[in-house]
C-alpha cells in the first residue's frame, strides 16, 4: 500500500518530546517517571494544552519539581515548542477529530496518539487520509499508545513504574511488538520480557474498527529498524489486516522472524455476529475468523502456535534460535535508579511521617462520612440535633445540655437584628445599595463589630467574672474600673433606662433564672447595676453585657473549668454569638435592598434611609 509516510523506521527516541492535550496529571507524571528510570536527560513532556486555562502544571522530574506551561491551543503550544514532534491527545471522542486534525496541521508534529474510544469511523478515516497526505503517523483511536523501551512512552503505556521494570521496558531489547489491544499489549510486554531480552518498541494501534495506522505499517517499520531482530504480532478476530501481513511475508517485504497469533479462536463456538470487546473484534465472514487468519499466517511462513497457551513458547524458541545464531547478543542489565516516592506514596507505605501544618479537632471529612466531634452527620440528622448542639460541638467541643443549647438559640434570635440604623446593618445596606455582592456587603457590616457594636460581650464576661470570682463589692468593682479609665463593658444604653428597660435583657434574665442551675455572675452584675443607676438612670445592664455574663453562668453550669472559661472568653468565642446572630439580620437587610432595587418590592420611600438614630453608635 503506497503512502507518503515518513521513511524513518523509528517514531521515538530518547530525545523525543511531546505535547499533551488535556491535563492528565497521572499520565503525565508516569511519563516523567519513566524518563527518570531510563535516565533521559530531558523530560519527554514539554507542554500541556487545555482550552479552559493557562499557566503552569507542576510535576516531578526525578527529585526535581518542574513547571510545564499550559496553552489554550495546540497551535500555540506547537509554535512555542517546535522540538516536540508527538502530540498525545486525551480529548473526548467528541473533540478527538477536531483536535487531532489541528495537530496534524502543525509542521512540527509528526505523530499523533488518539486515546479516546468511540471516535466515529468517518472521522477516523478522514484523519488517516490527512495523515497519509502529510506523511505523518496516527496511533489510535481507542489506544493506550505505545513506547520505545528505554527512550519514550505514550501516556499510560506499560502501566506503573513497577510493571515497567518487571517488563524490562527501562532498556531496549530485541523485539518489535504490535497489537490492536492496549490492555493485551501491557500483558504481552511482560510475556515477551519473560521469554526474550524484551522489546525495542511496542505499539497498540487501537481496537476500533478503523485505526489511524495498521499492523502491517508498523511491522514494515520494524523491518527497517536495525535494533529490532524479531517481531511479535497479536491480532484479533474481525477484519482482514492479518492477510496483509501474510502477503508481506510471502513477498519478502518482511524477512525478520514473525511470531503471530490471532485471538478469538473460541468465536466459532459462539453465536454468529458476536462482538469481542473492541469495535473491530467482529467476524463478518469466514475469512475474518481467528482460525482462518492464523492458518493464513502459518502458511505464509509466520511462526504461529497451536493456541495462545503456546504463544510464549514460540516467542522463546524464536529468540533462543536468534541468540544461538548470533543475531541477538544479550547485553548486561543496566542499573535501575530508585524512583523517589511522592509524600503520599511514602505515607501510604508507612515510610515517612510529617507533623501536620493544621490540626482540626472538631470535624473530619476524610472518612466514609462527615463527623462533628466524632459524631457522624447521619446520626446528627437522624436524632435531630439542634443548632445549639452544633455550636456547642464545634465551638466549645462539648455536647451541651438542652437548657444550654436552648439559651444559645434564644441569644441568636435576640441578636439577629436591631434595625437598619446600627452601624453594622447600616454599612451592609450601603454596600448592597452600591451594587456589591452579598458576601462583600456582609463583610462590610461584620467588620464594624467591636467594643461599641457587639464586641462588649467578651469584655463584660471577662470583667464581671473577675469581679465575682474575687468577691469584690459592687462599689469597689465600679471604682476599680473607673480608676483604670475603663468603661464598664455591658453597662449603659442611649435610649433604654431603668424606667424603660430593654425587653431583650428582661427576657434573657427570666430565661436564665428559670433554667440555669445557678446565676451567680448575673446576680453580681445586677448588684453592680444598682450602683451605676445611682449615677444615671440609663446605666443599665444592656443586651451585650447580659449575654456575656449569662454565658459565664452557662459555662459554669455545663462543667467547664475556670481555666477553660477564661480561654473561651479570650478567644472571642462569646462575641461569635453576636457575630452569628447579627449576620442573620445583615443578610436580611442586604437581600431587602436588592429586592427593592430589582423592582420585586417597592416602598414609597425606597430611596430614603432613615438614620435618625445612627448617632447612637
Segment (H or E) for 71: strand 64-71
User: Cα 253 to the chain's mean position, in Å?
Assistant: 50
How many alpha carbons fall within 13 Å on the CB side of residue 435? Answer: 0
Q: Tell me if 514 sits within 8 A of 507, measured CB to CB.
A: no
Query: Cα separation of 518 and 523, whole Å?
Result: 9
Cis preceding-peptide flag for 141 (omega within 30 of 0):
yes
Distances from the Cα of 106 to the Cα of 77, 85, 102, angstroms: 10, 9, 7
Residues contacting residue 367 through CB under 8 Å, at least 6 positions apart: none
User: Cα 402 to the chain's mean position, in Å?
Assistant: 40
Query: Cα separation of 18 and 112, whole Å?
Result: 10
Residues contacting residue 582 through CB under 8 Å, at least 6 positions apart: 415, 416, 417, 418, 424, 425, 445, 446, 449, 454
Closest-CA residue to 186 (of 146, 222, 217, 221): 146
Q: Tell me if 421 sits within 8 A of 583, measured CB to CB.
A: no
What is the grid cell recorded at 602? Answer: 417597592
Question: How is 171-226 classified by DSSP, letter by letter?
Answer: S--SEEEEES-HHHHHHHHHHHHHHSS-EEEEEE--SSSS-SS-HHHHHHHHHH-T
What is the grid cell recorded at 30? Answer: 508516569
Distances from the Cα of 578 to the Cα of 31, 321, 455, 494, 570, angstroms: 55, 87, 8, 19, 15
Q: Tell me if 395 sits within 8 A of 573, measured CB to CB.
A: yes
Distances from the Cα of 535 to the Cα of 314, 475, 493, 549, 567, angstroms: 109, 12, 13, 22, 33
Looking at the annotation, which residues are catalytic? 278
Query: Cα separation of 168 and 177, whole Å?
Result: 14
What is the grid cell recorded at 232? Answer: 511479535
Q: Tell me if 230 sits within 8 A of 260, measured CB to CB.
A: no
Q: What are phi and psi of 263, to 5 degrees?
A: -80, 160
Amino acid at each position: 500500500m503506497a503512502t507518503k509516510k515518513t521513511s524513518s523506521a523509528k517514531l521515538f527516541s530518547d530525545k523525543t518530546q511531546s505535547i499533551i492535550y488535556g491535563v492528565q496529571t497521572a499520565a503525565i507524571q508516569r511519563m516523567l517517571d519513566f524518563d527518570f528510570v531510563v535516565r533521559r536527560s530531558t523530560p519527554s513532556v514539554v507542554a500541556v494544552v487545555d482550552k479552559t486555562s493557562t499557566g503552569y502544571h507542576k510535576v516531578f522530574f526525578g527529585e526535581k519539581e518542574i513547571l510545564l506551561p499550559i496553552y489554550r491551543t495546540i497551535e500555540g503550544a506547537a509554535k512555542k515548542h517546535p522540538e516536540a514532534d508527538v502530540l498525545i491527545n486525551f480529548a473526548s471522542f467528541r473533540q478527538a477529530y477536531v483536535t487531532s486534525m489541528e495537530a496534524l496541521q502543525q509542521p512540527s508534529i509528526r505523530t499523533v496518539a488518539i486515546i479516546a474510544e468511540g471516535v466515529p469511523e468517518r472521522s477516523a478515516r478522514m484523519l488517516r487520509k490527512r495523515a497519509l497526505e502529510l506523511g505523518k503517523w496516527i496511533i489510535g483511536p481507542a489506544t493506550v499508545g505505545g513506547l520505545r523501551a528505554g527512550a519514550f512512552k505514550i501516556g499510560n503505556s506499560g502501566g506503573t513504574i513497577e510493571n515497567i521494570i518487571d517488563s524490562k521496558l527501562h532498556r531496549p531489547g530485541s523485539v518489535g511488538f504490535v497489537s490492536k489491544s492496549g490492555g493485551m499489549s501491557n500483558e504481552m510486554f511482560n510475556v515477551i520480557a519473560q521469554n526474550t531480552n524484551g522489546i525495542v518498541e511496542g505499539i497498540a494501534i487501537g481496537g476500533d474498527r478503523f485505526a489511524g495506522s495498521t499492523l502491517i505499517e508498523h511491522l514494515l517499520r520494524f523491518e527497517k529498524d536495525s535494533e529490532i531482530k524479531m517481531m511479535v504480532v497479536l491480532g484479533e478476530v474481525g477484519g482482514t489486516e492479518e492477510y496483509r501481513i501474510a502477503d508481506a511475508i510471502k513477498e519478502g517485504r518482511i524477512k525478520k522472524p514473525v511470531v503471530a497469533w490471532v485471538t478469538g479462536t473460541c468465536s466459532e463456538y459462539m453465536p454468529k455476529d458476536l462482538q469481542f470487546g473492541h469495535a473491530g473484534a467482529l467476524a463478518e465472514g469466514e475469512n475474518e475468523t481467528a482460525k482462518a487468519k492464523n492458518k493464513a499466517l502459518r502458511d505464509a511462513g509466520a511462526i504461529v502456535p497451536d493456541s495462545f497457551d503456546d504463544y510464549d513458547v514460540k516467542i522463546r524458541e524464536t529468540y533462543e534460535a536468534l541468540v544461538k545464531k548470533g543475531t541477538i547478543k544479550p547485553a548486561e542489565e543496566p542499573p535501575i535508579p530508585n524512583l523517589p516516592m511522592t509524600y503520599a506514596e511514602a505515607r501510604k507505605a508507612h515510610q515517612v511521617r510529617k507533623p501536620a501544618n493544621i490540626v482540626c479537632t472538631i470535624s473530619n471529612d476524610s472518612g466514609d462520612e462527615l463527623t462533628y466531634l466524632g459524631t457522624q452527620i447521619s446520626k446528627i440528622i437522624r436524632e435531630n440535633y439542634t443548632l445549639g448542639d452544633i455550636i456547642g460541638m464545634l465551638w466549645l467541643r462539648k455536647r451541651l445540655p438542652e437548657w444550654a443549647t436552648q439559651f444559645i438559640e434564644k441569644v441568636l434570635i435576640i441578636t439577629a437584628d436591631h434595625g437598619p440604623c446600627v452601624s453594622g446593618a447600616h454599612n451592609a445596606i450601603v454596600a448592597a445599595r452600591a451594587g456589591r455582592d452579598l458576601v462583600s456587603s456582609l463583610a462590610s457590616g461584620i467588620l464594624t463589630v467591636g467594643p461599641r457594636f457587639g464586641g462588649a460581650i467578651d469584655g463584660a464576661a471577662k470583667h464581671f467574672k473577675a469581679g465575682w470570682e474575687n468577691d469584690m463589692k459592687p462599689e469597689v468593682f465600679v471604682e476599680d474600673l473607673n480608676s483604670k479609665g475603663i468603661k464598664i463593658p455591658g453597662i449603659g444604653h442611649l435610649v433604654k433606662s431603668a424606667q424603660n428597660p430593654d425587653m431583650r435583657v428582661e427576657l434573657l434574665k427570666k430565661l436564665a433564672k428559670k433554667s440555669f442551675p445557678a446565676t451567680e455572675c448575673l446576680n453580681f452584675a445586677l448588684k453592680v447595676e444598682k450602683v451605676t443607676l445611682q449615677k444615671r438612670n440609663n446605666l443599665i445592664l444592656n443586651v451585650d453585657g447580659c449575654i456575656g455574663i449569662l454565658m459565664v453562668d452557662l459555662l459554669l453550669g455545663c462543667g467547664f473549668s475556670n481555666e477553660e472559661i477564661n480561654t473561651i472568653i479570650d478567644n472571642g468565642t462569646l462575641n461569635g454569638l453576636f457575630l452569628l446572630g447579627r449576620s442573620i439580620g445583615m443578610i436580611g437587610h442586604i437581600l431587602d435592598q436588592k429586592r427593592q432595587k430589582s423592582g420585586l418590592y417597592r416602598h414609597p420611600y425606597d430611596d430614603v434611609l432613615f438614620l435618625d438614630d445612627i448617632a447612637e453608635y
